[in-house]
Amino acid sequence: MNVKVFKTQAEIAAAAADFFCEVLLKKPNAVLGLSTGSTPMLTYEALAGRSAAGLADFSAVHTFNLDEYWGIAPEDEQSYRYFMQKRLFDKVNIRPENIHFPDGLAEDAQAECARYEAELAALGPVDLQLLGIGRNGHIGFNEPAEKMRAKCFCAELAEATIKANRRFFAREEDVPRRALTMGLGTILSAKKILMIATGENKAGAVYSMLRGEISGKCPASFLRTHGDAAVLLDEYAAALI
């Protein structure tokens, strides 16, 4: 894994945007794997700026997001679909029909996961997958477990993840307990992977990812088995390595 440490989150965002622009320059119709949460927000801001300056063209790009809460409508302000629309899609020249997401309102979660997996298989593999890391080492909603799931599935969120997501909701009981997520095998099938981690609260997870055993105790540790994975850290997240 190629690990780089930066002084500021703005520097990380610029470096991450460079990764995306390099992929788009080589392959204008690239398939991009995207993530949500606070970690990629500055990266999406940087990409929107590159798009506005004519340095990043999304007109032929397809995007697939890692996950979506189950039971939340796409227009709900807490949905990941809404997050992506406001943070990136409204600010670049992507075609709406090229945006791919799990349907959080699907009645049959298993069937929806199979549909999403097939949709990605038809257009993929992902050329560049953007990832964050949870405090417990999860990527997407692949929570720590003895046995990891390979394909898209409906995940039960760990209590630590529910608590971390609490700040985005008015009440704790509003925080979703399940989510549709790409499985670990699907994530690792991407040609390139870009992981971003910032803040001292991620230092423990980053240490486990880079220095601990490769196991389901820290799902992100499996990124060490990938042939083309980069990790961008600030000094706080890198404090223990």
pLDDT digits (tens, 9 = 90+) for 105-142: 999 999 999 999 999 999 999 999 999 999 999 999 99
Pairing of strands 229-234, 192-197: parallel
Residue 138 domain flag: yes
Residue 141 domain flag: yes
Confidence of residue 175 (pLDDT cuts 50, 70, 90): confident
What CATH number should be reported for the domain holding residue 71?
3.40.50.1360
Q: Which residues are catalytic?
A: 67, 136, 138, 143
| Distance, CA of 18 to CA of 38 (rounded, Å) | 19
Residue 173 domain flag: no
What pLDDT is attached to residue 144?
Answer: 95
What size, in residues, is the chain? 241
Backbone angles phi, psi at 81, to 5 degrees: -65, -40
The angle, 0 to 180 degrees and rounded to 10, between the axes of the packed helices 41-52 and 9-26 is 50
Q: What angle (nearest 5°) sits at the alpha carbon of residue 132, between those of residues 102 and 7? A: 150
Backbone angles phi, psi at 233, to 5 degrees: -125, 150
Residue 65 domain flag: yes
Structural domain for 100, as ranges: 2-153+179-234
Contact between residue 142 and residue 219 where contact means Cβ atoms under 8 Å apart = yes
Cβ-based neighbour number of residue 54 at 10 Å: 7
What is the tally of structural domains in the chain?
1
Residues 6+ away with beta carbon under 8 Å from 171: none
Residue 240 domain flag: no
pLDDT at 165 over 90: no
Residue 212 domain flag: yes
pTM of the model: 0.95
Residue 161 domain flag: no
Residue 52 domain flag: yes
What pLDDT is attached to residue 230?
Answer: 98
